[in-house]
Amino acid sequence: MLDIAAIRTQFPILGREIYGKPLIYLDNAATSQHPQCVIERIADSYCRVNANVHRGVHTLSQEATNAHENARKRVQRFINARHSHEIIFTRGTTEAINLVAHSFGEAFLHDGDEVIVTTMEHHSNIVPWQLLQSRKDIKLRVIPINERGELDMEVFRNLFTERTRLVSVMHASNVLGTINPIEEIIACAHAHGVPVLIDGAQGVPHLAVDVQRLDADFYVFSAHKVYGPTGIGVLYGKEKWLDAMPPYQGGGEMIAQVSFERTTFNELPYKFEAGTPDYVGTAAFATALDWIEATGFEAMKAHEDDLLQYATQRLYEIDGMRILGTADHKTPVISFLVDNIHHYDMGMLLDKLGIAVRTGHHCAQPLMHTLGIEGTVRASFAVYNTREEIDAFVAAVNRVSNMLR
Protein backbone atom coordinates (compact mmCIF):
# COMPACT_ATOMS: atom_id res chain seq x y z
CA MET A 1 0.00 0.00 0.00
CA LEU A 2 1.27 3.47 -0.89
CA ASP A 3 1.27 6.34 1.57
CA ILE A 4 -0.58 8.77 -0.71
CA ALA A 5 -0.47 11.61 1.84
CA ALA A 6 3.33 11.34 1.89
CA ILE A 7 3.45 11.18 -1.92
CA ARG A 8 1.32 14.32 -2.16
CA THR A 9 3.76 16.31 -0.05
CA GLN A 10 6.37 15.69 -2.76
CA PHE A 11 4.27 17.60 -5.34
CA PRO A 12 4.47 21.32 -4.53
CA ILE A 13 1.71 22.31 -6.97
CA LEU A 14 -0.85 20.23 -5.05
CA GLY A 15 -0.63 22.82 -2.28
CA ARG A 16 -2.17 25.48 -4.54
CA GLU A 17 -5.59 26.95 -4.17
CA ILE A 18 -7.83 27.88 -7.10
CA TYR A 19 -10.56 30.44 -6.36
CA GLY A 20 -9.85 29.87 -2.69
CA LYS A 21 -10.44 26.11 -2.96
CA PRO A 22 -7.77 23.40 -2.71
CA LEU A 23 -6.69 22.34 -6.20
CA ILE A 24 -8.09 18.97 -7.29
CA TYR A 25 -6.03 18.13 -10.35
CA LEU A 26 -7.83 15.62 -12.58
CA ASP A 27 -6.17 16.45 -15.91
CA ASN A 28 -3.34 13.95 -15.75
CA ALA A 29 -3.94 12.45 -19.19
CA ALA A 30 -3.03 15.87 -20.60
CA THR A 31 0.03 16.27 -18.39
CA SER A 32 1.03 15.03 -14.97
CA GLN A 33 2.54 17.14 -12.17
CA HIS A 34 6.16 16.93 -11.01
CA PRO A 35 7.64 15.70 -7.77
CA GLN A 36 10.15 17.98 -6.03
CA CYS A 37 13.10 15.77 -7.06
CA VAL A 38 12.37 16.36 -10.77
CA ILE A 39 12.06 20.12 -10.26
CA GLU A 40 15.30 20.12 -8.26
CA ARG A 41 17.10 18.15 -10.93
CA ILE A 42 16.22 20.82 -13.49
CA ALA A 43 17.43 23.58 -11.15
CA ASP A 44 20.58 21.61 -10.31
CA SER A 45 21.42 21.13 -14.00
CA TYR A 46 21.24 24.87 -14.58
CA CYS A 47 22.92 25.79 -11.28
CA ARG A 48 25.87 23.37 -11.39
CA VAL A 49 26.24 21.47 -14.64
CA ASN A 50 25.01 23.43 -17.62
CA ALA A 51 27.15 23.10 -20.78
CA ASN A 52 26.39 21.92 -24.29
CA VAL A 53 26.72 18.16 -24.67
CA HIS A 54 29.01 16.01 -26.87
CA ARG A 55 32.44 16.99 -28.16
CA GLY A 56 33.23 19.26 -25.23
CA VAL A 57 36.50 18.42 -23.46
CA HIS A 58 35.81 20.53 -20.39
CA THR A 59 34.38 19.08 -17.19
CA LEU A 60 30.94 20.66 -17.39
CA SER A 61 30.38 19.41 -20.92
CA GLN A 62 31.46 15.92 -19.95
CA GLU A 63 29.16 15.90 -16.92
CA ALA A 64 26.24 17.18 -18.99
CA THR A 65 26.97 14.57 -21.68
CA ASN A 66 27.11 11.80 -19.09
CA ALA A 67 23.78 12.88 -17.59
CA HIS A 68 22.18 12.97 -21.05
CA GLU A 69 23.54 9.59 -22.15
CA ASN A 70 22.72 8.01 -18.77
CA ALA A 71 19.15 9.24 -19.28
CA ARG A 72 19.09 7.35 -22.56
CA LYS A 73 20.17 4.18 -20.73
CA ARG A 74 17.57 4.89 -18.04
CA VAL A 75 14.82 5.03 -20.68
CA GLN A 76 16.23 1.89 -22.31
CA ARG A 77 15.86 0.07 -18.98
CA PHE A 78 12.36 1.52 -18.38
CA ILE A 79 10.96 -0.02 -21.57
CA ASN A 80 13.52 -2.85 -21.84
CA ALA A 81 14.94 -1.93 -25.26
CA ARG A 82 17.74 -4.13 -26.53
CA HIS A 83 20.13 -1.24 -27.25
CA SER A 84 20.40 2.31 -25.87
CA HIS A 85 20.93 3.60 -29.41
CA GLU A 86 17.38 2.47 -30.19
CA ILE A 87 16.20 5.32 -27.91
CA ILE A 88 15.84 8.57 -29.86
CA PHE A 89 15.00 11.69 -27.86
CA THR A 90 12.35 13.89 -29.45
CA ARG A 91 10.19 16.81 -28.31
CA GLY A 92 7.33 14.47 -27.50
CA THR A 93 5.03 11.80 -28.87
CA THR A 94 3.94 14.12 -31.65
CA GLU A 95 7.44 14.72 -32.95
CA ALA A 96 8.25 11.01 -32.67
CA ILE A 97 5.29 10.04 -34.87
CA ASN A 98 6.12 12.81 -37.34
CA LEU A 99 9.67 11.48 -37.49
CA VAL A 100 8.46 7.98 -38.33
CA ALA A 101 5.86 9.22 -40.83
CA HIS A 102 8.47 11.31 -42.56
CA SER A 103 11.41 8.98 -42.43
CA PHE A 104 9.84 5.51 -42.55
CA GLY A 105 7.44 7.01 -45.07
CA GLU A 106 10.36 8.17 -47.21
CA ALA A 107 12.07 4.79 -47.19
CA PHE A 108 9.24 2.28 -47.12
CA LEU A 109 5.96 3.81 -48.32
CA HIS A 110 5.12 4.12 -52.00
CA ASP A 111 2.10 5.20 -54.01
CA GLY A 112 -0.78 2.82 -53.37
CA ASP A 113 0.56 1.60 -50.00
CA GLU A 114 -1.64 1.44 -46.92
CA VAL A 115 -1.27 2.31 -43.24
CA ILE A 116 -3.74 0.92 -40.68
CA VAL A 117 -4.83 3.22 -37.83
CA THR A 118 -7.85 3.24 -35.50
CA THR A 119 -10.96 5.40 -35.18
CA MET A 120 -9.81 6.47 -31.72
CA GLU A 121 -6.40 7.89 -32.72
CA HIS A 122 -5.15 11.22 -31.42
CA HIS A 123 -4.64 13.78 -34.21
CA SER A 124 -0.90 13.24 -33.79
CA ASN A 125 -1.31 9.75 -35.26
CA ILE A 126 -3.55 10.90 -38.10
CA VAL A 127 -2.25 14.22 -39.42
CA PRO A 128 1.43 13.17 -39.93
CA TRP A 129 0.17 10.44 -42.29
CA GLN A 130 -2.03 12.96 -44.08
CA LEU A 131 0.97 15.28 -44.50
CA LEU A 132 2.78 12.38 -46.10
CA GLN A 133 -0.17 12.01 -48.47
CA SER A 134 0.84 15.32 -50.08
CA ARG A 135 4.04 13.58 -51.19
CA LYS A 136 2.87 9.99 -51.62
CA ASP A 137 -0.45 8.53 -52.58
CA ILE A 138 -0.88 6.39 -49.47
CA LYS A 139 -4.18 5.29 -47.97
CA LEU A 140 -5.31 5.13 -44.35
CA ARG A 141 -7.38 2.09 -43.38
CA VAL A 142 -9.27 2.56 -40.12
CA ILE A 143 -10.13 -0.03 -37.46
CA PRO A 144 -13.63 0.75 -36.12
CA ILE A 145 -14.78 0.52 -32.49
CA ASN A 146 -17.80 -1.09 -30.84
CA GLU A 147 -20.27 0.65 -28.51
CA ARG A 148 -18.01 0.03 -25.49
CA GLY A 149 -15.14 1.80 -27.19
CA GLU A 150 -13.12 -1.32 -27.98
CA LEU A 151 -11.47 -2.07 -31.30
CA ASP A 152 -13.29 -4.41 -33.64
CA MET A 153 -10.55 -6.99 -33.98
CA GLU A 154 -12.53 -9.02 -36.51
CA VAL A 155 -12.52 -6.08 -38.92
CA PHE A 156 -8.84 -5.40 -38.10
CA ARG A 157 -7.82 -8.91 -39.17
CA ASN A 158 -9.54 -8.34 -42.50
CA LEU A 159 -8.02 -4.91 -43.22
CA PHE A 160 -4.69 -6.33 -44.38
CA THR A 161 -3.96 -6.31 -48.09
CA GLU A 162 -0.78 -6.90 -50.03
CA ARG A 163 -0.27 -3.10 -49.87
CA THR A 164 -0.33 -2.82 -46.04
CA ARG A 165 3.05 -1.44 -44.95
CA LEU A 166 2.49 -0.28 -41.35
CA VAL A 167 0.02 -0.55 -38.47
CA SER A 168 0.06 2.59 -36.30
CA VAL A 169 -2.19 2.39 -33.24
CA MET A 170 -2.48 3.83 -29.77
CA HIS A 171 -1.72 1.70 -26.71
CA ALA A 172 -4.56 3.34 -24.76
CA SER A 173 -7.14 5.96 -25.69
CA ASN A 174 -6.78 9.43 -24.18
CA VAL A 175 -10.57 9.83 -24.48
CA LEU A 176 -12.12 6.43 -23.78
CA GLY A 177 -9.40 4.98 -21.58
CA THR A 178 -9.59 1.75 -23.61
CA ILE A 179 -6.43 -0.33 -23.40
CA ASN A 180 -5.98 -1.82 -26.83
CA PRO A 181 -4.86 -5.45 -27.27
CA ILE A 182 -1.51 -4.43 -28.71
CA GLU A 183 0.10 -7.86 -28.17
CA GLU A 184 -2.56 -9.37 -30.43
CA ILE A 185 -2.32 -6.48 -32.92
CA ILE A 186 1.46 -6.82 -33.19
CA ALA A 187 1.32 -10.61 -33.55
CA CYS A 188 -1.33 -10.33 -36.26
CA ALA A 189 0.57 -7.60 -38.17
CA HIS A 190 3.81 -9.56 -37.97
CA ALA A 191 2.05 -12.64 -39.31
CA HIS A 192 1.43 -10.46 -42.40
CA GLY A 193 5.05 -9.24 -42.38
CA VAL A 194 3.91 -5.71 -41.39
CA PRO A 195 5.69 -3.62 -38.71
CA VAL A 196 3.79 -1.81 -35.93
CA LEU A 197 4.09 1.62 -34.32
CA ILE A 198 2.52 2.01 -30.88
CA ASP A 199 1.55 5.48 -29.66
CA GLY A 200 2.28 4.89 -26.00
CA ALA A 201 1.48 8.41 -24.74
CA GLN A 202 -1.35 7.01 -22.60
CA GLY A 203 0.19 3.56 -22.17
CA VAL A 204 3.50 4.26 -20.48
CA PRO A 205 2.01 6.18 -17.53
CA HIS A 206 -0.13 3.23 -16.45
CA LEU A 207 1.12 0.02 -18.04
CA ALA A 208 4.49 -1.70 -17.71
CA VAL A 209 6.03 -1.71 -21.19
CA ASP A 210 8.60 -4.21 -22.41
CA VAL A 211 9.24 -3.43 -26.07
CA GLN A 212 11.17 -6.66 -26.62
CA ARG A 213 8.44 -8.85 -25.18
CA LEU A 214 5.83 -6.89 -27.16
CA ASP A 215 8.06 -7.11 -30.23
CA ALA A 216 6.95 -3.53 -31.12
CA ASP A 217 8.81 -2.06 -34.09
CA PHE A 218 8.29 1.51 -32.84
CA TYR A 219 7.01 2.68 -29.46
CA VAL A 220 6.64 6.41 -28.76
CA PHE A 221 5.72 8.42 -25.66
CA SER A 222 6.09 11.75 -23.84
CA ALA A 223 7.97 12.44 -20.59
CA HIS A 224 5.48 15.02 -19.37
CA LYS A 225 2.77 12.42 -18.88
CA VAL A 226 5.03 10.32 -16.61
CA TYR A 227 6.03 12.96 -14.05
CA GLY A 228 8.89 14.17 -16.27
CA PRO A 229 9.52 17.55 -17.91
CA THR A 230 7.76 19.00 -20.93
CA GLY A 231 9.51 19.04 -24.29
CA ILE A 232 10.99 15.53 -24.06
CA GLY A 233 9.71 12.48 -25.83
CA VAL A 234 10.96 9.10 -26.84
CA LEU A 235 11.02 7.27 -30.12
CA TYR A 236 11.98 3.66 -29.55
CA GLY A 237 12.65 1.91 -32.84
CA LYS A 238 14.18 -1.44 -33.66
CA GLU A 239 17.72 -0.94 -34.87
CA LYS A 240 16.97 -2.58 -38.20
CA TRP A 241 14.30 0.02 -39.03
CA LEU A 242 16.15 3.07 -37.69
CA ASP A 243 19.27 2.04 -39.60
CA ALA A 244 17.32 1.83 -42.84
CA MET A 245 15.50 5.16 -42.38
CA PRO A 246 16.90 8.48 -43.65
CA PRO A 247 17.45 11.38 -41.21
CA TYR A 248 14.45 13.51 -40.30
CA GLN A 249 16.15 16.88 -39.78
CA GLY A 250 19.59 18.11 -40.78
CA GLY A 251 22.07 20.08 -38.69
CA GLY A 252 24.70 19.63 -36.01
CA GLU A 253 25.11 16.30 -34.17
CA MET A 254 23.49 14.21 -36.88
CA ILE A 255 26.42 14.25 -39.31
CA ALA A 256 29.69 12.31 -39.64
CA GLN A 257 31.38 14.45 -42.32
CA VAL A 258 30.10 17.55 -44.10
CA SER A 259 31.38 19.11 -47.28
CA PHE A 260 29.54 21.10 -49.90
CA GLU A 261 29.86 18.12 -52.23
CA ARG A 262 28.72 15.36 -49.90
CA THR A 263 27.58 14.79 -46.32
CA THR A 264 27.58 11.51 -44.43
CA PHE A 265 25.40 10.88 -41.43
CA ASN A 266 26.19 9.98 -37.85
CA GLU A 267 25.37 6.59 -36.35
CA LEU A 268 22.31 5.87 -34.21
CA PRO A 269 20.91 7.51 -32.18
CA TYR A 270 22.52 10.79 -33.28
CA LYS A 271 21.41 10.45 -36.90
CA PHE A 272 17.93 11.42 -35.67
CA GLU A 273 18.93 14.05 -33.11
CA ALA A 274 19.90 17.16 -35.06
CA GLY A 275 20.86 20.20 -33.01
CA THR A 276 21.41 20.74 -29.30
CA PRO A 277 19.21 18.27 -27.43
CA ASP A 278 17.22 19.21 -24.32
CA TYR A 279 19.87 17.66 -22.06
CA VAL A 280 18.42 19.38 -18.97
CA GLY A 281 15.08 17.76 -19.77
CA THR A 282 16.51 14.30 -20.41
CA ALA A 283 18.40 14.35 -17.09
CA ALA A 284 15.24 15.36 -15.24
CA PHE A 285 13.31 12.69 -17.12
CA ALA A 286 15.73 10.07 -15.78
CA THR A 287 15.04 11.41 -12.28
CA ALA A 288 11.28 11.04 -12.91
CA LEU A 289 11.77 7.41 -13.94
CA ASP A 290 13.89 6.79 -10.84
CA TRP A 291 11.10 8.33 -8.78
CA ILE A 292 8.49 6.04 -10.36
CA GLU A 293 10.65 3.00 -9.71
CA ALA A 294 11.30 4.01 -6.10
CA THR A 295 7.58 4.66 -5.52
CA GLY A 296 6.67 1.31 -7.08
CA PHE A 297 5.06 1.08 -10.50
CA GLU A 298 2.75 -1.82 -9.65
CA ALA A 299 1.56 -0.16 -6.43
CA MET A 300 0.91 3.06 -8.36
CA LYS A 301 -1.10 1.11 -10.91
CA ALA A 302 -3.15 -0.62 -8.19
CA HIS A 303 -4.00 2.74 -6.62
CA GLU A 304 -4.95 4.27 -9.98
CA ASP A 305 -7.14 1.24 -10.80
CA ASP A 306 -8.89 1.68 -7.48
CA LEU A 307 -9.54 5.36 -8.26
CA LEU A 308 -10.93 4.42 -11.67
CA GLN A 309 -13.36 1.83 -10.24
CA TYR A 310 -14.42 4.11 -7.39
CA ALA A 311 -14.92 7.21 -9.58
CA THR A 312 -16.86 5.23 -12.21
CA GLN A 313 -19.20 3.79 -9.62
CA ARG A 314 -19.71 7.17 -7.89
CA LEU A 315 -20.28 9.10 -11.15
CA TYR A 316 -23.09 6.71 -12.11
CA GLU A 317 -24.96 7.93 -9.01
CA ILE A 318 -25.57 11.19 -10.90
CA ASP A 319 -28.81 11.45 -12.89
CA GLY A 320 -28.28 11.66 -16.64
CA MET A 321 -24.65 10.49 -16.44
CA ARG A 322 -23.25 9.03 -19.65
CA ILE A 323 -19.71 7.63 -19.58
CA LEU A 324 -18.07 7.30 -22.98
CA GLY A 325 -15.76 4.31 -22.98
CA THR A 326 -16.82 1.30 -20.94
CA ALA A 327 -14.19 -1.21 -22.01
CA ASP A 328 -13.19 -3.99 -19.62
CA HIS A 329 -9.58 -2.83 -19.61
CA LYS A 330 -9.15 0.89 -19.07
CA THR A 331 -6.52 3.35 -17.95
CA PRO A 332 -7.73 5.78 -15.23
CA VAL A 333 -9.49 8.08 -17.70
CA ILE A 334 -13.22 8.85 -17.59
CA SER A 335 -14.92 10.85 -20.34
CA PHE A 336 -18.50 11.80 -19.58
CA LEU A 337 -21.49 13.97 -20.41
CA VAL A 338 -24.45 14.77 -18.17
CA ASP A 339 -27.79 15.08 -19.98
CA ASN A 340 -27.34 17.74 -22.65
CA ILE A 341 -25.16 20.02 -20.52
CA HIS A 342 -22.33 21.43 -22.60
CA HIS A 343 -18.91 20.02 -21.66
CA TYR A 344 -17.41 23.49 -21.71
CA ASP A 345 -19.94 24.88 -19.19
CA MET A 346 -19.31 21.93 -16.90
CA GLY A 347 -15.51 22.38 -17.12
CA MET A 348 -15.70 26.13 -16.46
CA LEU A 349 -17.87 25.72 -13.37
CA LEU A 350 -15.80 22.83 -12.01
CA ASP A 351 -12.76 25.11 -12.29
CA LYS A 352 -14.52 27.66 -10.08
CA LEU A 353 -14.70 24.90 -7.49
CA GLY A 354 -10.97 24.22 -7.75
CA ILE A 355 -11.32 21.14 -9.95
CA ALA A 356 -9.20 20.84 -13.10
CA VAL A 357 -10.69 18.59 -15.79
CA ARG A 358 -10.27 18.73 -19.55
CA THR A 359 -13.13 19.52 -21.93
CA GLY A 360 -13.50 19.40 -25.68
CA HIS A 361 -12.60 16.98 -28.45
CA HIS A 362 -9.29 15.93 -26.86
CA CYS A 363 -7.50 16.04 -30.24
CA ALA A 364 -9.66 13.15 -31.43
CA GLN A 365 -12.22 14.72 -33.74
CA PRO A 366 -12.73 11.59 -35.89
CA LEU A 367 -13.62 9.71 -32.69
CA MET A 368 -16.01 12.49 -31.62
CA HIS A 369 -17.60 12.27 -35.06
CA THR A 370 -18.05 8.50 -34.67
CA LEU A 371 -19.60 8.99 -31.22
CA GLY A 372 -21.86 11.70 -32.62
CA ILE A 373 -20.75 14.30 -30.07
CA GLU A 374 -18.65 17.47 -30.09
CA GLY A 375 -16.70 16.82 -26.93
CA THR A 376 -16.69 15.41 -23.43
CA VAL A 377 -15.62 16.30 -19.94
CA ARG A 378 -12.61 14.18 -19.05
CA ALA A 379 -11.29 13.34 -15.60
CA SER A 380 -8.02 11.43 -15.46
CA PHE A 381 -6.16 10.25 -12.39
CA ALA A 382 -2.57 9.91 -11.24
CA VAL A 383 -0.94 8.37 -8.20
CA TYR A 384 -1.41 11.48 -6.03
CA ASN A 385 -5.21 11.59 -6.43
CA THR A 386 -7.40 10.30 -3.62
CA ARG A 387 -10.88 8.90 -3.01
CA GLU A 388 -11.62 12.07 -1.01
CA GLU A 389 -10.86 14.16 -4.09
CA ILE A 390 -13.19 11.95 -6.12
CA ASP A 391 -15.95 12.46 -3.55
CA ALA A 392 -15.47 16.23 -3.85
CA PHE A 393 -15.39 15.94 -7.65
CA VAL A 394 -18.62 13.88 -7.81
CA ALA A 395 -20.36 16.30 -5.45
CA ALA A 396 -19.21 19.19 -7.66
CA VAL A 397 -20.43 17.51 -10.88
CA ASN A 398 -23.76 16.90 -9.18
CA ARG A 399 -24.01 20.51 -8.01
CA VAL A 400 -23.06 21.94 -11.42
CA SER A 401 -25.49 19.57 -13.18
CA ASN A 402 -28.36 20.69 -10.95
CA MET A 403 -27.45 24.31 -11.62
CA LEU A 404 -27.32 23.91 -15.39
CA ARG A 405 -30.26 21.58 -15.90
The burial of 371, by beta-carbon neighbours within 10 Å (0-12 exposed, 13-18 middle, 19 or more buried), is given as: buried
Give min distance, CB of 99 to ligand PMP, in A. 12
Q: In the set 10, 103, 124, 287, which binds ligand PMP (CB under 6 A)?
A: 124
Give min distance, CB of 124 to ligand PMP, in A. 4
Choices 18-26, 68-76, 109-117, 199-207; region in contact with ligand PMP by CB under 6 A: 199-207
Q: In the set 68, 72, 74, 122, which binds ligand PMP (CB under 6 A)?
A: 122
d(CA 195, CA 218): 8
Q: x/- contact string, 128-147, with ligand PMP (CB under 6 A)?
A: --------------------
> Which residue lies nearer to ligand PMP by CB, 115 or 341?
115
> Active-site residues: which are they?
363
Q: In the set 32, 33, 76, 94, which binds ligand PMP (CB under 6 A)?
A: 94
Q: In the set 39, 79, 92, 393, which binds ligand PMP (CB under 6 A)?
A: 92
d(CA 263, CA 367): 44
Q: In the set 174, 180, 376, 380, which binds ligand PMP (CB under 6 A)?
A: 174
Q: In the set 10, 45, 98, 222, which binds ligand PMP (CB under 6 A)?
A: 222
d(CA 365, CA 236): 27
Give min distance, CB of 2 to ligand PMP, in A. 25
Buried (b) or exposed (e) across 142-181, using 16+ Cβ within 10 A?
bbebeeebbbeeeebeebbeeebbbbbbbbbbbbbbbbbb
d(CA 210, CA 284): 22
What is the residue-wise DSSP string for 327-356?
-SSB-SEEEEEETT--HHHHHHHHHHTTEE
Q: Say if CB 297 and CB 237 are below 8 A apart.
A: no
Q: In the set 33, 76, 119, 202, which binds ligand PMP (CB under 6 A)?
A: 202
Give min distance, CB of 205 to ligand PMP, in A. 10
d(CA 405, CA 385): 29
Q: Say if CB 170 and CB 159 are below 8 A apart.
A: no
Please work out, in degrees rounded to the nearest 5, the angle formed at the alpha carbon of residue 293 by the alpha carbons of 288 and 294.
Answer: 95
201 is an interface residue for ligand PMP by CB under 6 A: yes
Size of the site for ligand PMP (CB under 6 A): 13
Give the residue among 207, 204, 178, 184 at the shortest CA–CA distance from 196. 184
98 is an interface residue for ligand PMP by CB under 6 A: no
Give min distance, CB of 333 to ligand PMP, in A. 9
Q: Say if CB 124 and CB 199 are below 8 A apart.
A: yes
367 is an interface residue for ligand PMP by CB under 6 A: no
- For binding to ligand PMP (CB under 6 A), which residues are involved? 30, 92-94, 122, 124, 170, 174, 199, 201-202, 222, 363
